[in-house]
Structure 1
């Protein structure tokens, strides 16, 4: 058996419960970790993140096999399953911790992210310009255990029903061939 060469992508698209649930369902994605990145303090806790004063975004770290799904395909799904045109906000979630961001790890990821944004804007895919931040990845801190695998463990909770389920329905309808 050949060695699997996993790559990593880090996205912030509002609440990490939502983005985690979306990307866990994709072929080629082996792991999704909810966490915090883009801020100024070490080892932040959720209670600090929610103040918006640490500069961290709720983000997910995606481990994926590029033989099954490319970084560009992950970007397509990222942009299709959140609103990249609202600054520091996703739905009712407001603050810098809920910003739309791509935290790249190399020049190729940076180039692909910027090309995707330019393409989506030039094609008028969204009614407003994309405000997604494209920044180098700094330290990524895993969120507390109760945030990990949140939707799968709490799918009957109201937030999951009203906010995450519509995202999963869109994923199912738009990217069916990419699902596990």
Structure 2
């Protein structure tokens, strides 16, 4: 990975704050923008990791976090990326029981989340959410994609 930026996208409100996104009225989803070198880690691995680290069968929620801002969504930038995202969603349907509800929505404006959201897990490893929710997800991805870890 060369960069992962916490952001908001998929809604209509310009430059929303976390508090606004949490109301569910902006239409935005909490998201990450990932930049990577495909010579180091293939795009398919990034996409498969996405489907490994969260439950794509939960509609408008992730665990105890409920609302459209927690929807499982992907935001392709162009038709070629849309096709690759669809292929990743199809692969994920082979390993997840139940229907995959991940939406594929056109990429619109992306708004960087507040600084305290950037690298949240690294900055807050002992925070309750990180210990209870993030650590198991991180461990699952690390186990599934160990060959790509440095």
Do both proteins adopt the same fold according to a TM-score greater than 0.5, normalized to the shorter chain? yes
In structure 1, C-alpha distance between the alignment counterparts of 2:140 and 2:90, rounded to whole Å: 23
- What is the alpha-carbon root mean square deviation over aligned residues? 1.0
1:66: which partner in 2?
A: 38
Does residue 152 of structure 1 match 2:131?
no
2:136: which partner in 1?
A: 166
Does residue 86 of structure 1 match 2:58?
yes
Residue 120 (structure 1) shift: 3.2
**Larger deviation: 112-121 or 166-175?**
112-121
In structure 1, C-alpha distance between the alignment counterparts of 2:43 and 2:81, rounded to whole Å: 7
Does residue 128 of structure 1 match 2:128?
no
Instruction: Name the structure where strand makes up a greater proportion of residues.
Output: 1
Residue 115 (structure 1) shift: 1.7
Deviating beyond 2 angstroms after TM superposition, the runs of 4 or more aligned structure 1 residues are 118-121
TM-score normalised by the chain length of structure 1: 0.80
**Larger deviation: 156-165 or 107-116?**
107-116
> Is the Cα contact below 8 Å between 1:102 and 1:135 reproduced in 2?
yes
Gaps of 5+ in 2: none
Q: What SS does the corresponding residue of 2:75 show, helix, strand or coil?
A: strand
Alignment: residue pair count: 150
> Is the Cα contact below 8 Å between 1:71 and 1:109 reproduced in 2?
no
2:86: which partner in 1?
A: 114
Structure 1 residues 97-128: Cα deviation after superposition (integer angstroms, max 9, x where no partner): 0010110012221001112222333x3x2111
In structure 2, C-alpha distance between the alignment counterparts of 1:157 and 1:117, rounded to whole Å: 31
In structure 2, C-alpha distance between the alignment counterparts of 1:144 and 1:178, rounded to whole Å: 29
> Is the Cα contact below 8 Å between 2:5 and 2:112 reproduced in 1?
yes
Does residue 75 of structure 1 match 2:47?
yes
2:68: which partner in 1?
A: 96
TM-score normalised by the chain length of structure 2: 0.96
